[in-house]
Amino acid sequence: MLTPKDTSRPTPRGKNPGRNREHNRRVVLDLMRRHGRTGRLEIARLCQLTPQSVTNILDELIGEGLIRAAGRRSAAGRGQPPLDYEINPDGAFTIGMELAVTRMTAVVVDLAGQIRRQSSVDVADMSPGAALPRIETLVRELSTDQQGRLMGIGVVMPGPFEIEGFSSVGPTTLPGWAGLDAAAELTARLGAPVVVENDANAVAIGETLLGDHLHLSQFGVIYFGTGIGLGVISSGALMRGAYGNAGEIGHVVAAPGGRPCPCGQNGCLERYASTHALRESLLAAGRSGDLAELDTAHPDADPVLSAWLDEAAAHLGPVISILENVLDPQTIVLAGGLAPDWLDAIISRLRLGTSVSRRSDRTLPRVMRGQSGVFAAAIGAAALPMHDAITPRLELSEVSPPRTEPTEPPR
Ligand SMILES: [Zn+2]
């Protein structure tokens, strides 16, 4: 899943002698992850570190098994050609888990971003008392036979978190988790660092770290979980907001006076553009409400599915135009536990209005499908501890200014 030679994102600069050693490690690891096989002098040049600093860091990373020598390039001229280095996929791994209302999905991802194992189980009771022991069992099962060090565990669950009169409302949040420090509880049980994040944010991180979107640094991910959420990546980093709830678009009113929502409002986006709304449509049509029965259906072959896709796209289009004007993104990505055909069907049905994103020099579509597939949230969860360990913390360092594309007035 790595995209070699990504040069569109600014490479964070290292800091030379006597300064932030940890930062320099991250800068080198991040560069090697994005560029693939690289030589010592090239790393020094791109990271603006001295060759000696790079040698020290490479020695340290090789000692920890995180990178490895990758042979020499073919000889050109006299002398021995320099040695190349690359990320060692077996050096470390992370586990990502998605806790949804009735299902627990987990993946093991190696240091190179490849999925090593995946597992999905139906869980009738997702309250902490019932779910925590099952999480523990699943993590043990998945960790066996893995090489390298467990870097950490990412857990995603639907947001919003800790909003008075808002949290734990409705069928798209998990009961009993409000007020519980899930990260601390899980870290104590699992004996490895645990990061907890809402699903849309995790999927956005996953797309930057593991997907084919490594070259994107300014984008939004609209995630279809049980509800609907937005993760925003700005200058390569997640925009979390003051309380971790940035991007909670499910309860944005998309249809004033529309369907009542458990949050107390009418016409929330989630009441139309979510799999929960699709289930409701199926039940209203006298069907089981089980999305599995739709898995093989062509979107237009099933009238209920087709009608839901129309409705979801109709309510999503104006919200996307607002997001474009607010964020000025490179693109908006649709991702989540919907079949790729369904996501494509929503995209083809969108009627996007005029916004700052309507430009003739676009190289990417305004809206595109995510790369991480139906396991997007679990993969995103696995990306969280890796992101924490690898990605340079830009706010702690001097960085090259992000490249900006010229903005033209809307046409
Ligand atoms: Zn609502």
User: Ligand 1 centre and the CA of 15: distance in Å?
Assistant: 47
User: Ligand 1 centre and the CA of 355: distance in Å?
Assistant: 26
Of these ranges, 6-15, 43-52, 335-344, the one predicted with the greatest mean pLDDT is: 43-52
What mean pLDDT is predicted for residues 239-266?
90
Residue 410: predicted pLDDT: 42
* 33 SS3 class: helix
Give start-end residues of each CATH 1.10.10.10 domain in the chain: 1-73+81-87
Residue 77: predicted pLDDT: 66
Q: Which residues surround ligand 1, an ion (CB under 5 A)?
A: 251, 261, 263, 265, 268
Beta strand spans in 291-410 (E): 331-336, 367-369
Q: What CATH class has 1-73+81-87?
A: mainly alpha
User: Ligand 1 centre and the CA of 201: distance in Å?
Assistant: 19
Residue 408: predicted pLDDT: 45
What mean pLDDT is predicted for residues 64-87?
84
Residue 221: predicted pLDDT: 95
User: Ligand 1 centre and the CA of 263: distance in Å?
Assistant: 4
User: Ligand 1 centre and the CA of 9: distance in Å?
Assistant: 37
Give residue 407's pLDDT band: very low, low, confident or very high (50, 70, 90): very low
Residue 211: predicted pLDDT: 60
On the CB side of 114, CA atoms within 13 Å amount to: 9
Q: Which amino acid is at 74?
A: S
Kindly tell me if the per-residue pLDDT of 243 is higher than 80.
no
Residue 18: predicted pLDDT: 46
Tell me what percent of the residues of the chain surpass a pLDDT of 90.
Answer: 42
Kindly tell me if the per-residue pLDDT of 345 is higher than 90.
yes
User: Ligand 1 centre and the CA of 172: distance in Å?
Assistant: 10
Q: Which residues contact 310 (CB under 8 A, 6 or more apart)?
A: 349
Between 408 and 262, whose confidence is greater? 262
What mean pLDDT is predicted for residues 358-369?
92
Residue 166: predicted pLDDT: 40
Q: Contact 275/309 with Cβ under 8 angstroms? A: no
Give residue 396's pLDDT band: very low, low, confident or very high (50, 70, 90): very low
On the CB side of 97, CA atoms within 13 Å amount to: 26
Which CA distances in Å does 306 have to 344, 351, 367? 12, 16, 20
Kindly tell me if the per-residue pLDDT of 102 is higher than 60.
yes
The CATH superfamily label for domain 92-390 reads: ATPase, nucleotide binding domain (3.30.420.40)
Record the tokens describing residue 403, joined without a space.
């490249």
Give start-end residues of each CATH 3.30.420.40 domain in the chain: 92-390
What mean pLDDT is predicted for residues 254-275?
95
Kindly tell me if the per-residue pLDDT of 206 is higher than 80.
yes
Give residue 84's pLDDT band: very low, low, confident or very high (50, 70, 90): very high
Give residue 375's pLDDT band: very low, low, confident or very high (50, 70, 90): confident
Report the Cα–Cα distance between both ends of the chain, in Å, rounded. Answer: 36
Of these ranges, 5-14, 94-103, 349-358, the one predicted with the greatest mean pLDDT is: 349-358
Between 315 and 29, whose confidence is greater? 315
H/E stretch holding 38 reads: strand 38-39
Lowest mean pLDDT among 97-111, 142-156, 176-190: 176-190
> How confident is the model over 115-137, as pLDDT tens digits?
899 988 888 888 888 888 999 99
What mean pLDDT is predicted for residues 333-349?
91
Q: Which residues contact 115 (CB under 8 A, 6 or more apart)?
A: 107, 108, 109, 375, 379
d(CA 165, CA 273): 22
Q: Contact 2/111 with Cβ under 8 angstroms? A: no
> How confident is the model over 286-329, as pLDDT tens digits?
999 888 888 666 888 899 999 999 999 999 999 999 999 999 99
Kindly tell me if the per-residue pLDDT of 216 is higher than 90.
no
Beta bridge partners of 332: 220, 367
User: Ligand 1 centre and the CA of 272: distance in Å?
Assistant: 11
User: Ligand 1 centre and the CA of 181: distance in Å?
Assistant: 25
| DSSP secondary structure code for residue 260 in this structure | B
Beta bridge partners of 369: 334
d(CA 268, CA 253): 4
Lowest mean pLDDT among 96-100, 143-147, 241-245, 337-341: 241-245
Give residue 182's pLDDT band: very low, low, confident or very high (50, 70, 90): confident
Kindly tell me if the per-residue pLDDT of 9 is higher than 60.
no
Question: Does the CA dihedral 320-324-327-333 come out positive or negative?
Answer: positive
Residue 145: predicted pLDDT: 83
Kindly tell me if the per-residue pLDDT of 220 is higher than 90.
yes
Beta bridge partners of 333: 221, 368
Q: Which residue, 396, 243, 234, 394, is CA-closest to 326?
A: 234
- Would you put residue 152 in left (φ > 0), alpha (ψ -120 to 50) or beta? left
User: Ligand 1 centre and the CA of 344: distance in Å?
Assistant: 26
Kindly tell me if the per-residue pLDDT of 398 is higher than 60.
no
